[in-house]
Chains A and B, each alone.
Chain A
Amino acid sequence: MSVLGYTIKRLLQMVLVLFAVSVIVFLMMSFTGDPVFMVIPIDSTAAEIEQARRLLGLDRSLLSQYFIFLGDMLQGDFGRSYVFRQPAMQLILERLPATIEMVLVAITLATAIAIPLGVYAGANPNRPVSRGIMAGSLLGISLPGFWVGMMLIFFFSVRYPLLPSSGRGDTVEVFGLRLSIFTADGFAHIILPALTLALATLAIMLRITRAGMMEVMRQDYMRFARAKGASRRSILFRHGLKNALIPVVTIFGLQLGDLIAFATITETIFAWPGTGKLLIDSIYRGDRPVIVVYLMLTAFIFVAINFLVDIVYTLIDPRISVK
């Protein structure tokens, strides 16, 4: 199948998934209490409540409410936040760059450390250093992110005040996006939250890389590469790593989606004004439109990342074709 045909097929799948998600999200939201109390003044009369309900369309059947919701969404109208009285999508998109830049720093950091260490530990499984790496990675998986975040703040902001622990710092506008990473102050602000986010991903990717390398090390082509006179570095990273990379890319994709969608705890700890913080605030305030859009966007991000991951598979292993 051609790449174009494949892409079209995947796009159709993506639409289906998003449709299913919209149904689930809508149903779940309709069970979470009456939103009318979010919008009316606390001393409203019964008639005023009734009128607000009619204005919001909450008096109609669930099915017709869903179709209004779906129809509006298809026209690009995702509803307005009850709290901010602004379009919900705009609210999220304003905060998305903050989350994404933090996540990208975190995942780059995690990958840059996890892959070399994983290759080393997989190629020399019996060395003390490898055992140390593996023990460390177990720690990285087990320690909860909020605790790590608090410890980092305690050591690097309180005990030794080297790095800021709260907010984004100075931002600068790049291509219409407000980013912290390009200013010195912003960069200092991004380090601790990114480190907190990176830790678990680093540990998982390291372990996956190591497992893949241990499997690959046993293969004949690795010995053949040695018999050709290739350097150890080239044997490990060119011949070995590429063969061990498929599961690593899978985990990378899942973790990337996970970090973007659910950086909530880290953003809360470091008062990072990203989407995660917006989500948690919206849940507390019962701000239904924001939650719905957020979940739809999350589903979209996951589906899109998965699509890219599948494309990357075919670039890594010629035996995998787009089907």
Chain B
Amino acid sequence: MADPLLEVRDLRTYFHTFGGVVKAVDGVSFDVRQGEVVGLVGESGGGKSVVGFSILGLIDPPGRIEAGEILFAGENLAAKSEEEMRSVRGGEIAMVFQDPMTSLNPVYTVGHQMDEMLRLHTDLDRKARRARCVEMLEQVGISEAESRLDAYPHQFSGGMRQRVVIAIALLAGSRLIIADEPTTALDVTVQAQILKLMRRQIVERGAAMIMVTHDLAVISEMADRVVVLYCGKVVERGRTAEIINAPSHPYTRGLLDSIPRIAERRDRLDQIPGTVPDIRTLGKGCSFRDRCFRAQPVCAEKTPVLSPVRGSLDAACHFPLEETAP
């Protein structure tokens, strides 16, 4: 198998707050191969967005990447200077943000904001850049692209703005796109369109994508492989189909059970009991143990290590679930 495009090795991103050190990302490792979509899943506060921002070096004080390597095409991004990272951002790696209503600058035209990406990362002249912007807007499904370039963001709907944001992310031919909850802020019907669009546009180009989301339904549609994060640690990872059909970590099981299904009417949704613990006060042992239906005394003693369970699945659990588990 070819070398992965991106290898994240033991990434640790901590936030030094007055209340203590928040280990938002605490030893996360995963790979992304070319042409692949990897889903980062977890509850709010699980550290999944911080992983995305760490890769681009967009962590601001009091946050800091404490340790780990982010190898992109063989180069360690974590060791690069701010100036070196500038050509990576938007060039090699682009990002799509959660809320399209706020990620475009309200005082510049859509065309201006698209053009900026090309000005920064290509040598094209003004005419060529404009042609490229028109072409890209058409590809993300915006009609009358030529005239829409001169419109301002507030003249677009939410779904259309997210199409623009995606178009900007794709403009400079990045090899990796990090999408941070790209459809959370959109209507359900628009969500499906945008997801299809992203998958087609990105995979057809042979680029790779990291999809950060809390929505396992989105992941099952989009991702080839999934990395499940809990309290800043990877608790399970593996191929999407295997994880969705038979997860081995009780947390993943809980996430899957809490998705409402229309087909089987239930009076109450299954939910994971309790809430995410305070990440500053985590001691040794498994951080999920207080909410876990399989917890044993050993779970409080020893922190489980990520290790192969079955098939493509790795899990950090002392008592991983069997395939036939209820």
Contacts and interface: CB of A to CB of B under 8 A. Distances in A.
Partners in one complex: yes
Interface of A: 219-221, 223-231, 239, 242-243, 316-319
B105 A239 contact: yes
Given A223-B58, A223-B97, A228 B116 contact: yes
Nearest to B99: A220
Interface stretch (B88-96, B138-146, B276-284): B88-96
Interface string B93-130: 01101110011111111000000110011000000000
B52 to A, nearest CB: 10
Do most interface residues of chain A lie in helix, strand or loop, or is the interface mixed? Answer: helix
5 contacts: A224-B165, A226-B89, A229-B121, A318-B107, A318-B152
B291 interface: no
A229 B154 contact: no
B11 interface: no
A37 to B, nearest CB: 59
B64 interface: no
B106 A229 contact: no
A225 B103 CA distance: 9
B107 A225 contact: no
Nearest to A219: B102
Contact of B89 (A229, A243, A317, A318): A229
A214 to B, nearest CB: 14
Among A224, A225, A229, max chain B CB count under 10 A is at A229
Given A225-B116, A228-B117, 8 more contacts: A219-B102, A220-B97, A228-B168, A229-B120, A230-B86, A231-B86, A243-B107, A318-B154
Contacts of B243: none
A220 B117 CA distance: 17
Contacts of B87: 229
A219 to B, nearest CB: 6
A227 B106 contact: no
Contacts of B99: 220
B242 to A, nearest CB: 32
Interface residues of B, number: 29
Contacts of B108: 239, 242
B105 A243 contact: yes
Nearest to B94: A227
A231 B83 CA distance: 8
B89 A242 contact: no
B90 A227 contact: yes
Nearest to B52: A227
Contacts of B152: 318-319
B103 A220 contact: yes
A221 B87 CA distance: 18
A221 B99 CA distance: 10
Interface string B148-182: 00001010000000000100100000000000000
B316 interface: no
Among A223, A226, A239, max chain B CB count under 10 A is at A226
A313 to B, nearest CB: 11
A229 B88 contact: yes
A223 B57 CA distance: 11
Given A227-B56, A229-B120, A318-B154, A221 B91 contact: no
B123 to A, nearest CB: 15
Given A224-B95, A319-B152, A230 B120 contact: yes
Contacts of A243: 105-107
A315 to B, nearest CB: 10
B90 A229 contact: yes
Interface string B238-276: 000000000000000000000000000000000000000
A317 B106 CA distance: 8
A237 to B, nearest CB: 13
Contact of A220 (B56, B102, B109): B102
Contact of A317 (B86, B98, B107): B107
A229 B91 contact: yes
A311 B171 CA distance: 35
Nearest to B61: A126
Contact of A221 (B56, B89, B105, B109): B105
A317 B154 CA distance: 11
Contacts of B95: 224, 227
Contacts of A220: 97-99, 102-103
A239 B102 CA distance: 13
A319 B103 contact: no
Nearest to B86: A229
Contacts of A229: 86-91, 117, 120-121
B120 A228 contact: yes
Contacts of A242: 107-108
A244 to B, nearest CB: 10
Contacts of B86: 229-231
B106 A319 contact: yes
A224 B53 CA distance: 11
A227 B86 CA distance: 8
Nearest to B85: A229
Contact of A224 (B104, B107, B120, B154): B104
Given A219-B102, A220-B97, A228-B168, A316 B88 contact: no
B211 to A, nearest CB: 16
A120 B292 CA distance: 49
B94 A319 contact: no
Nearest to A223: B58
A225 B105 contact: yes
Nearest to B87: A229
B154 A319 contact: yes
Nearest to A216: B105
A316 B168 CA distance: 23
A283 to B, nearest CB: 45
Given A242-B107, A243-B107, A319-B154, A227 B89 contact: yes
Given A318-B107, A318-B152, A319-B154, A227 B58 contact: yes
